[in-house]
Amino acid sequence: MKIGFLGLGNMGGPMALNLVKAGHQLTVFDLSKPAVDQLVEAGATAADTIAALAKSDVELIITMLPAAQHVKSVYLGDEGLLAHVSPKVRLIDSSTIDPMSAREVEAAASKHGNLMLDAPVSGGTGGAAAGTLTFMVGGEQADFDAALPVLQAMGKNIVHCGPAGNGQVAKVANNMLLAISMIGTAEAMNLGVSLGMDPKVLAGIINTSSGRCWSSDTYNPYPGVMDSAPASRGYSGGFGTDLMLKDLGLATDAAKQARQPVILGALAQQLYQTFSGQGNGALDFSAIIKLYAGGKDE
């Protein structure tokens, strides 16, 4: 299939590479020349502008951009996609943005005659490279069915979550729970260790007891408990604190609009805000455990 791909960063770059590997013909655009060059080396064609990409003979355009303001300007701007794309081209936005912005862009696309899906992902840069992402997809069932083979070249679990915006709803709800469970795990681990428990023994107990969760059994924040976790490599790599903070902002904003209390989500946002403000925004989000160490290194 002829596919346009816009936004070739940490996630979009490897996702686009997987589409090339699966035999699709890609036309790509990014503000970063090195990001474009990497795809061109792999066999993709570069477009000079968003308008040029929109006007090329692609059947589907996928975007993977940092935040809602980028998505709105790329789709709705005077020189954006909708100003130039043919109505028969299908659109998929995989960026993580708030559900209301996703619905606003989808409504504009629909008015223009384009079918559009929101399809945010989970699985991080490792999942993007390995082609094992989870896609949470909002939009019409028939459009989802048509997009499935393309999404399967980049992911393993592809779930239709309901109408437009529902992919983003699933994503913000999951990531808010992840933030809360990580803070809970950090608090419990630090309490146990400060009262004399060996961290590995404590993690083993939690992971075979009712406190078990992904933050404790796959991504434990206590250093040395799990060799594969960012906690055991100085909290480098993984999912950055500032990205988690962004997702908590999306959750609390969406909650405000839905008039739905998110008490622990708001508290988690404040804790991550504090931690980021202390200069830790680039560390993996499990480093939030450092807040409990009174500043001393874990």
Tell me the sheet residues that pair with 63.
6, 93
Q: Does 125 bind ligand NAD (CB under 6 A)?
A: yes
Q: Does 175 bind ligand NAD (CB under 6 A)?
A: no
Q: Quick one: tokens of 187?
A: 């608090």
Q: Could you tell me if 121 and 155 are in contact, meaning their C-beta atoms sit under 8 angstroms apart?
A: yes
Q: Could you tell me if 166 and 141 are in contact, meaning their C-beta atoms sit under 8 angstroms apart?
A: no
CB of 95 to ligand NAD, least distance (A): 4
Q: Does 5 bind ligand NAD (CB under 6 A)?
A: no
Q: Is 296 annotated as catalytic? A: no
Q: What is the DSSP letter of 140?
A: -
What type of residue is 216?
A: S
Q: How far apart are CA 27 and CA 29, in angstroms?
A: 7
Q: How far apart are CA 140 and CA 263, in angstroms?
A: 32
Q: Does 249 bind ligand NAD (CB under 6 A)?
A: no
- Our measurement of the distance from residue 140's CA atom to the centroid of its chain's CA atoms, rounded to an integer in Å, reads 21
CB of 113 to ligand NAD, least distance (A): 23
Using Cβ positions, the residue closest to ligand NAD within the complex turns out to be 9
Q: Does 30 bind ligand NAD (CB under 6 A)?
A: yes
Q: Quick one: tokens of 79?
A: 């020189």
**Out of 32, 208, 257, 270, the residue judged to bind ligand NAD by CB under 6 A:** 32
Q: At 285, phi and psi to the nearest 5?
A: -65, -20
Q: At 7, phi and psi to the nearest 5?
A: 105, 90
Point out the catalytic residue in the list 55, 156, 171, 246: 171
Q: Does 169 bind ligand NAD (CB under 6 A)?
A: no
**Out of 18, 96, 181, 252, the residue judged to bind ligand NAD by CB under 6 A:** 96
Instruction: Report in angstroms the alpha-carbon separations of 243 from 65, 66, 87.
Output: 13, 10, 33
CB of 31 to ligand NAD, least distance (A): 4
Q: Is the Cβ of residue 14 or residue 139 nearer to ligand NAD in the bound state?
A: 14
CB of 204 to ligand NAD, least distance (A): 28
Q: Does 106 bind ligand NAD (CB under 6 A)?
A: no
List of residues contacting ligand NAD (CB under 6 A): 6-12, 29-32, 35, 64-66, 70, 73-74, 95-96, 121-122, 124-125, 239, 243
Question: Which active-site residues does the annotation give?
Answer: 171
